Structure 1
């Protein structure tokens, strides 16, 4: 990466304090994706939602985020990135209170949807503000490392903090954790964060925003259904509908004089190469890590809180790797740093191949540490390239595209590797099912490892133990195959990064550019 020039303004105390504020908001953004899972038993007893309503309560937050990121990133460029962040923070805080005191499943679904819509303002606004606040390449790399750290910290803290809160309070209290941080953001944001927007931006195209939302909702919903139920007609129709609406969205952007997304961004080699690396990397991590929490709980018999604690090494490794990467990037070519890290990630996934049914906790910890450290350079440096290679006035849109790629990559990783894992599990358990099972018990045992464990509890001792052994072995085989695919994908991605690095694409560093400032502080 190039050295900072003498004309590059360096960030000071105000910018670093501002980064701390927006990083804390990002912690909550991720926490809300997972913290509700632990509250499901109490929530179910209180609101008594149907199974379909419970799925929507859990999923709608992530769906709305995925569908709104592009729109919110582009909107921030138009109305001001700080302004959008503060509007989103206010909405997030108010909606969190409404969610905490929901009196019906329908109310909780609606408030979770609004939380997702307001939460979608946080990631693109914060990343684009980093582009505006940190012009020095070294400082910006460090800032982005801290920004990524906040997401890892949210993933680590969410289950643990949620478990502690639920020990003493009712299920709605998990939402009230958001309120103090959002109040702090509203108080400190105007003082610490500068306001930036594109002075020449046109009006936002509402039909494009609607198409973006509908396309992403349908696609992510379809992929999630594939992961849970297999390639059912409903899942395939939803995914294909999402792709079709996405095609219409792209065609509309090409015709508009002032599109929601400037497609010329994708003609910037560094932007497109970094975006592809980031999205595929997310695919690998989400897909490869999919089986581990289930293995800890269903095979090793851990409680959700215990399983959450044993995933801390994974999250902490991402934190360490994200913050060490900018330091290493000063001494090691970014392409080689990312490529070497991806090879380490492949070795980490390879370690998981040694796991056996009923054992393997040390291998899980070792493997997760290795692939987390290995993936960190790719995540940190690609976000730096994505946001740095885009024109300053399009930083919000670039950030929205980046986070959308992450959402799609994660959903695709879960759907593809999850479906493969389910198929392997069913094939592995079919020959070992007791002939005395009813049709319903057979379907439950074939569906998931959890279903097989429930069925085994009602069988005679010997038959139940045999079913558990067969189910755990079949699930472990699926875990092995998922890890193998993740390892191969990591090696292929390493080859892509190194090949692009040889021609300078993956290591481009834009010259310092004066940021368009349309508003005073």
Structure 2
């Protein structure tokens, strides 16, 4: 009998948890809900932030990106620290810091200070996410219970995304944009009370060593690569962007070589030799790029182009979020009988159709095509993420749950960064290229209108009629043409995810 089969037999016969274990799962869902709510709420608050703080197009992208970028750069480090010092301890420390910085971000007076606060949120957020999935692995030892627990855990991302627009829309209609950051406080207080009572402490008996040089190399890999992608998307190919990209790749190579040469590395590179593990990571990455990029431009289209309020735009996306939750749970019994090599590509093919619907309907006057598109896209991504997260956890040794969870969350957060960097940057570039302002617009007003769609919205409101309406018509048409191209690129990314799933998630990687 193979080692894998032996482990599966042991896990199938492992003790089942009772009510206390499921209560612990509810506690672990709180930080997951918080992170997903935070991402969605900010996307919906961005138009008001843009009007209030008047960020440049680059600052607008950094307001979104800096949090997942810092978080992604530190996840492996924090996962290793959790393996060494205790995963529950890291969860509690991260919760305290996240709540405190969220309160500060709510009152940031400038775009620069908001970006700085978002960076600190990324630091403390990196303590939260690896701990949740690794603690879940240590609590649910029984294979069947763990499969369901991971499906519920994964659905928390979708649930948070669904709650974000509704709660955030209500807050944005009654309070300033800073209120969306204060959501963290009531979510994290119950966690701080319940975590010491319900969550067992767990750690790796042989954790990876704390290696400051490896930490620096991991950050030096991600920052230049993401910055280069931003520059390519916004300004086109430049020598400086290419230099940043090459620097990031070089730092990544040094990071991998250092881990391979170490007897006890910070990140166990052997995990990536398992095809189903690496494949599941890449499926997560491309799926999240497609999802976050979709939310980035659709939230602006619903509010600024179609004139919907934040709450109306939030309700418009709820059916898609609900579809993600239902698909994530419904795929569990299917995965017992059908290989992920089939289930995941079929699901992602629906997401491709969703993006094609967007590309064909960006000049439509109503929101219905976008609602339908998001439902179709959400079904595919919900199913794919549930299966990929299960494969990531199942293919890692229990002692390395923190490191494996950190890699999974790194892919998720890096996907969030690249979703806005790639798709957000591309739509910005096409918007600028397609925008043809009418005669008579002052140079400073033209510059502001060319920066972002929100900038054009403000300029159009400040300009007397009929010139103001002409400015806004030109901006809306330019943005719509950018959405069409960006949707086709998003569809291509989902196709790549489906191909990877079909090639790597074989029968031995089957969800067990």
TM-score range, shorter chain: 0.7 to 0.9
- Aligned to 1:311, what secondary structure does the other structure show? helix
Query: Any idea what the Cα deviations from partners look like across 1:457-495, whole Å, max 9, x if unmatched?
Result: 577856665554444333323222222233344344334
The separation in 1 between residues aligned to 2:158 and 2:249, in whole angstroms, is: 30
Q: 1:139 is matched with which residue?
A: 145
| 8 Å CA contact retained: 1:165, 1:174 | yes
Is 1:257 the counterpart of 2:260? The answer is no
Q: 2:438 is matched with which residue?
A: 434
Q: 1:477 is matched with which residue?
A: 481
| Structure 1 gap ranges (5+) | 510-521
Q: 1:357 is matched with which residue?
A: 363
Q: 2:96 is matched with which residue?
A: 90
- Aligned to 2:507, what secondary structure does the other structure show? coil
Q: 2:214 is matched with which residue?
A: 208
Q: 2:249 is matched with which residue?
A: 243
1:316-355 matches, within 5 Å, as 316-355=322-361
Q: 2:35 is matched with which residue?
A: 29
Is 1:504 the counterpart of 2:510? The answer is no
Greater CA drift, 65-74 or 169-178: 169-178
Pair 338,232 (structure 1): closer, same or farther in 2 beyond 3 Å: same
The separation in 2 between residues aligned to 1:423 and 1:102, in whole angstroms, is: 28
1:54-203 matches, within 5 Å, as 59-99=65-105, 111-165=117-171, 174-203=180-209
CA shift at 1:69, angstroms?
0.8
CA shift at 1:231, angstroms?
5.4
| 8 Å CA contact retained: 2:50, 2:455 | no
The separation in 1 between residues aligned to 2:113 and 2:452, in whole angstroms, is: 31
Pair 164,287 (structure 1): closer, same or farther in 2 beyond 3 Å: closer
The separation in 1 between residues aligned to 2:234 and 2:291, in whole angstroms, is: 18
The separation in 2 between residues aligned to 1:451 and 1:466, in whole angstroms, is: 15
The separation in 2 between residues aligned to 1:240 and 1:437, in whole angstroms, is: 41
CA shift at 1:368, angstroms?
0.4
| 8 Å CA contact retained: 2:276, 2:509 | yes
Query: Any idea what the Cα deviations from partners look like across 1:313-340, whole Å, max 9, x if unmatched?
Result: 2222212222222132234333222121
| 8 Å CA contact retained: 2:356, 2:488 | yes
Is 1:406 the counterpart of 2:406? The answer is no
Q: 1:515 is matched with which residue?
A: none
Q: 1:373 is matched with which residue?
A: 379
The separation in 2 between residues aligned to 1:170 and 1:441, in whole angstroms, is: 25
CA shift at 1:85, angstroms?
1.4
The separation in 2 between residues aligned to 1:170 and 1:437, in whole angstroms, is: 30
Query: Any idea what the Cα deviations from partners look like across 1:143-164, whole Å, max 9, x if unmatched?
Result: 1221122222222323432343
Pair 110,420 (structure 1): closer, same or farther in 2 beyond 3 Å: closer
| Structure 2 gap ranges (5+) | none
Q: 2:23 is matched with which residue?
A: 17
Is 1:494 the counterpart of 2:508? The answer is no
| 8 Å CA contact retained: 1:144, 1:380 | yes
CA shift at 1:366, angstroms?
0.6
Pair 106,444 (structure 1): closer, same or farther in 2 beyond 3 Å: closer
Aligned CA RMSD, in angstroms, stands at 3.5
Query: Any idea what the Cα deviations from partners look like across 1:375-404, whole Å, max 9, x if unmatched?
Result: 111111011101110111111111111111
**What is the TM-score of this pair, normalised by structure 1?**
0.84
Pair 50,474 (structure 1): closer, same or farther in 2 beyond 3 Å: closer
Q: 2:303 is matched with which residue?
A: 297
**What is the TM-score of this pair, normalised by structure 2?**
0.85
Higher helix share: 2
Pair 409,60 (structure 1): closer, same or farther in 2 beyond 3 Å: closer
